[in-house]
């Protein structure tokens, strides 16, 4: 199997994780998808492009290359449920709206799925864990920003329109409360952008698994509505006129996270 992730090591104690931007498929999954699924509508498109300033800030960046239709990098390896609401698991069999992804009787079998876990999921998490350990060893603490995007309206999951900026801290368990406050202050200052902290998205597996503020690892998730940087319907065009202002907000969030770390990171062990 070809390269399953892209990783760039930075020089500051912050790692951005982008698990759902991948568009690669295995031949078995690609052949079995229904026609509607072949455009990969549940992808966090263009996020590496949106966060392309990471290298300039010295931030480490980890990006999954494979589609979540192969294996979902933000789900636990035992596929235990994360949410009480309906959703997709480690090996999605449906779209987010519950419609089947695969042609009848052609879902990947147990052996194929075990292979995807071994060859796609495990390398991503091994890299993530190793980089957080390196950052903590070098700086005394580590910061993790798990980046996601979603349609602004997901009626099969939520009523109404989602806020533009959905910050999640596992209901306060994945980072110091002062860090969450600092990030929310940036969101409040972002003119024209709605926001919420630990609303409908409190953080997936990555935030919950790696956020250990008592051990000096602080993790937050951002679920960004896609209409703030792209067209949400096919052909899913990137909109630089929208992405430019949004990139400014994202940069301010990461700069605030780094500033908080310099001031408080070591003291929150």
pLDDT band, very low/low/confident/very high, at 96 (cuts 50, 70, 90): confident
Identify the pLDDT of residue 87: 59
E strands present in the chain? 5-8, 14-18, 60-64, 142-150, 165-168, 195-197, 217-225
For residue 207, pLDDT over 60 is answered with yes
Going 148 to 3 to 143 to 169, the CA torsion angle's sign is positive
pLDDT (average), residues 171-199: 97
| CB of 64 closer than 8 Å to CB of 18 | yes
Instruction: Give residue-wise pLDDT tens across range 8-67.
Output: 999 999 999 999 999 999 999 999 999 999 999 999 999 999 999 999 999 999 999 999
Contact 82, 205 (CB under 8 A): yes
Q: Give the CATH number of the domain where residue 132 resides.
A: 3.40.630.40
Instruction: Note the maximum CA span of the chain.
Output: 55
The set of residues, in sequence order, having a beta carbon less than 8 Å from that of 74 and lying 6+ positions away, is 19, 20, 68, 146, 148, 204, 205, 206
Task: Provide the domain count of the chain.
Answer: 1
Mean pLDDT for the stretch of residues 212-239: 96
Q: Are 150 and 225 in contact (CB under 8 A)?
A: yes
- Cβ 184 vs Cβ 178: under 8 Å: no
**What is the mean predicted confidence (pLDDT) over 252-262?**
97
> What domain range includes position 253?
5-265
Half-sphere exposure of 72 (CA within 13 A, CB side): 25
How confident is residue 145, by pLDDT bands cut at 50, 70 and 90? Answer: very high
Please check the confidence at residue 133 and state whether its pLDDT lies above 90: yes
In whole angstroms, give the CA distance from residue 210 to residue 15: 12
Q: What is the CA radius of gyration of the chain?
A: 18
Which of these, 91, 89, 88, 117, lies nearest to 1 by C-alpha position? 117
Q: Is the confidence at residue 84, as pLDDT, over 80? A: no
For β-strands 14-18 and 60-64, DSSP reports them as parallel
Q: Is the pLDDT of residue 81 over 80?
A: no
Quote the pLDDT of residue 106. 93
CA distances from 199 to 14, 57, 117 (A): 24, 29, 30
- Which band of pLDDT confidence, cut at 50, 70 and 90, is reported for residue 158? confident
What percent of the chain lies above the pLDDT cut of 90?
86
Average of per-residue pLDDT values in the chain: 93
Asked if residue 188 has pLDDT above 70, the reply is yes
pLDDT at residue 1, rounded to an integer: 44
pLDDT at res. 18: 98
Rounded-to-integer distance, Cα 258 and Cα 254, Å: 6
Residue 156 near residue 230, CB atoms below 8 Å: no
């Amino acid at each position: 199997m070809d390269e399953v992730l892209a990783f760039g090591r930075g020089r500051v104690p912050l790692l951005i994780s982008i698990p759902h931007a991948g568009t690669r498929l295995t031949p078995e999954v690609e052949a079995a998808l229904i026609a509607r699924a072949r455009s990969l509508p549940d992808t966090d498109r263009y996020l590496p492009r949106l966060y392309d300033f990471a290298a300039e800030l010295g931030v480490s960046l980890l990006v999954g290359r494979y589609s979540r239709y192969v294996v979902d990098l933000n789900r636990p390896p035992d596929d235990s449920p994360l949410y009480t609401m309906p959703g997709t698991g480690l090996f999605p069999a449906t779209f987010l709206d519950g419609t089947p992804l695969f042609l009848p009787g052609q879902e990947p079998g147990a052996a194929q799925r075990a292979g995807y876990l071994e060859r796609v999921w495990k390398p991503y998490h091994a890299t993530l864990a190793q980089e957080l350990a390196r950052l903590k060893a070098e700086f005394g603490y580590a910061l993790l920003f798990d980046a996601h995007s979603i349609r602004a309206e997901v009626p099969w999951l939520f009523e109404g329109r989602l806020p533009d900026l959905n910050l999640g801290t596992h209901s306060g368990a994945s980072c110091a409360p002062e860090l969450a406050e600092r990030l929310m202050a940036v969101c409040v200052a972002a003119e024209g952008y709605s926001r919420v902290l630990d609303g409908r998205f409190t953080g997936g597996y990555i935030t919950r698994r790696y956020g250990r503020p008592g051990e000096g690892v602080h993790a937050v998730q951002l679920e960004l509505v896609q209409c703030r940087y792209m067209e949400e319907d096919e052909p899913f065009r990137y909109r630089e006129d929208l992405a430019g202002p949004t990139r400014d907000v994202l940069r301010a969030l990461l700069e605030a996270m780094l500033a908080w770390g310099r001031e408080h990171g070591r003291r929150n062990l």
